Amino acid sequence: MIRWLITLGLALMASPLRAEPCRLALVLAMDISASVDEAEDALQRQGLASALLAPEVVEAFFSSPLPVALAVYEWSGRTTQSIILDWTLIETQADLLSASSTVQRSARSHQGSATSMGHALTFGAAMMQRAPSCLFQVIDLSGDGSNNDGYGPHRAYERAAFANIVVNGLVINAADFEGELFLIPFFENNVLHGPGAFLEIAQGFEDFERAMRRKLERELSGQQIGAVQEGEFR
């Protein structure tokens, strides 16, 4: 908490004329590619809805007087991205409960196709362009496979829109296919982007809720946003 207050104070001192309405714009991206079946998709939706209401996550949401702007979308191939929860300012527990309910009631928009991470990330960056003005911007990409269609994450990160965006990852380490044995290093070397970016690992879809709780708590508590690292964004 002390570290978060210091980070927040430094950010406000750096921009004395800019009064931001929120501390963090956080967009969560869920994988609905062909490798994710209906039961696994349900575990993701229910897992995210439950994680948003976990006591430690609720506490992290309201750990600062500045609120969080939250959005959720699902992704798969080059043109299969769909918004589940549009930008919502989480100012009260009622706002958070409504956001969780929206995710829980959502239905899969596509049966799934290839895994196009670059296009998914570009969609997330476009959402950030119409997000509320916040101190920090984070895209949270979940997936159970590596990129196999369209351009990859590095190509997406060449775009100017990612200059101030941190990208964290959540690997669903189901290992359904041989290529997924190398999924963790793929995320580490290709998906993570920006100062303090980190990876959380779920051991299968049944473990998604636990991993999402851990990741949300870390993102919302300020343990990684605004962290100082040597070097430039990846």
How do 68-75 and 134-143 pair as beta strands?
unpaired
Sign of CA dihedral 135, 22, 131, 125: positive
Coil, strand or helix: which one is 190?
helix
Q: What end-to-end distance do the CA atoms of the chain give, in Å? A: 28
Each of the 234 residues of the chain gets a pLDDT tens digit; together they read 444 444 444 444 444 434 568 999 999 999 998 888 899 999 999 999 999 999 999 999 999 999 999 999 998 877 789 999 999 999 999 999 999 999 999 988 877 678 889 999 999 999 999 999 999 999 999 998 888 887 889 999 998 789 999 999 999 987 555 545 688 999 999 999 999 999 999 999 999 999 999 999 999 986 444 443 333 334
Q: What is the pTM of this model?
A: 0.84
- Which residue type is seen at 113? S
Of 122, 142, 119, 130, nearest to 35 by C-alpha is 142
